[in-house]
Structure 1
Amino acid sequence: MKKVLFILMISWVLVPITFANDASLLDDNAGMNWLQMIDAGEYNKSWQEADSLFKSQLTSGIWQKALRNVRKPLGKVVMRKKHSAQTHTSLPGIPDGHYLVLTFKTQFEQKTKAIETLTLSKQSGEWRAIGYFIK
């Protein structure tokens, strides 16, 4: 369970060292396909599409259970708007690299005000999820 919390919380505790802070240089769609898998209940597919670091920290079964317990009760997404995008070269507890932290203001059927934080890594050559947190 500590590993699940680590993955979910990594997006929350950020080191303020950035290699660029200009969100206009970033792909506006980075991470959206991954979030849409979760929205559709494709939890195993979201695990398969995540970065190897993510998959090394928790099994698909643990990931699916966590999402069923946390995400599913919120209901369908009514609205999701990107709030911020920050790039980092260093995050706590993981190797230095290229990371993108996206935050979204999201409205769910059962929670009208939520902040989703999605942390992506580019270690594999393309942006892949390493952390997801809903506040």
Structure 2
Amino acid sequence: MSKTVTFIIATVLLVLTTNAYSHTDAAEAAALAWLEAIDSGEYEQAWEASSTLLQVPLSSNMLARTINAARRDFGAVESRRRIRVIRETSMPGAPVGDYAVFTFQTRFENKPQITETITPHLEGGDWKVSGYYVN
């Protein structure tokens, strides 16, 4: 294989890898900003930053009630650490698209080890949260 062909292949692979990482970074930034809004009780802000997949079935008040019920006894967030990210092109009950599923190990004031799963997806060129679960 010629040096030119090898260089072109290496360049393409580097660009594709860099693009995948930048998408993951942007998706994680959107997820963390959404979580920060939820952590600080800014549910309207979180709802506005949410995907239509989350906004259509839930009003901002319903989102607040749902999050408060799920995290009722947890207390304040003390730390959050990403433990996994998986890229998907489809999710159950959702349209085909670009999704990132982030799993965080989170320490709350009253719950030392909670797993949070948050799913942003690319909507209109922006990453927006479409799902959130706590275990």
Q: TM-score range by the shorter chain?
A: 0.7 to 0.9
Aligned residue type for 2:125: G
CA distance in 2 between partners of 1:54 and 1:105 (Å)? 23
State the 1:33 CA deviation: 0.8
Q: Distance in 2 between matches of 1:94 and 1:67?
A: 21
Greater displacement, 81-90 / 60-69: 60-69
Equivalent residue letter for 1:65: R
Letter in 2 for 1:82: R
SS at 2:125's partner residue? coil
Q: Report matched runs for 1:48-127 at 5 Å.
A: 48-127=48-127
In structure 2, C-alpha distance between the alignment counterparts of 1:130 and 1:30, rounded to whole Å: 11
Distance 1:58 1:41 in 2: 16
Instruction: Report the 3-state secondary structure (helix = DSSP H, G, I; strand = E; otherwise coil) of the residue aligned with 2:38.
Output: helix
Q: Which runs of 4+ in 1 moved over 2 A?
A: none
Query: What is the TM-score with the length of structure 2 in the denominator?
Result: 0.78
Structure with bigger helix share is 2
The two structures have a TM-score, normalised by structure 1, of 0.78
- Report the equivalent of 2:3: none
> 5+ unaligned residues in a row in structure 2: which ranges?
1-19
2:42 maps to which residue? 42
For residue 126 of structure 2, give the secondary structure of its aligned residue in structure 1.
Answer: coil
Secondary structure of 1:73's partner? coil
Secondary structure in structure 1 of the residue aligned to 2:106: strand
Query: Which runs of no fewer than 5 residues in structure 1 stay unpaired?
Result: 1-23
Q: SS at the partner of 1:95? A: coil
Q: Which deviations, in whole Å up to 9, do the C-alpha atoms of 1:77-99 show, x marking residues without a partner?
A: 11100111111001111110000
Max radius of gyration: which structure? 2
Inter-partner Cα distance in structure 2 for 1:41 and 1:102: 21
CA RMSD of aligned residues (A): 1.9
Aligned residue pair count: 114
Could you tell me how far apart the structure 2 residues matched to 1:79 and 1:70 are?
18
- Partner residue in 2 for 1:6: none
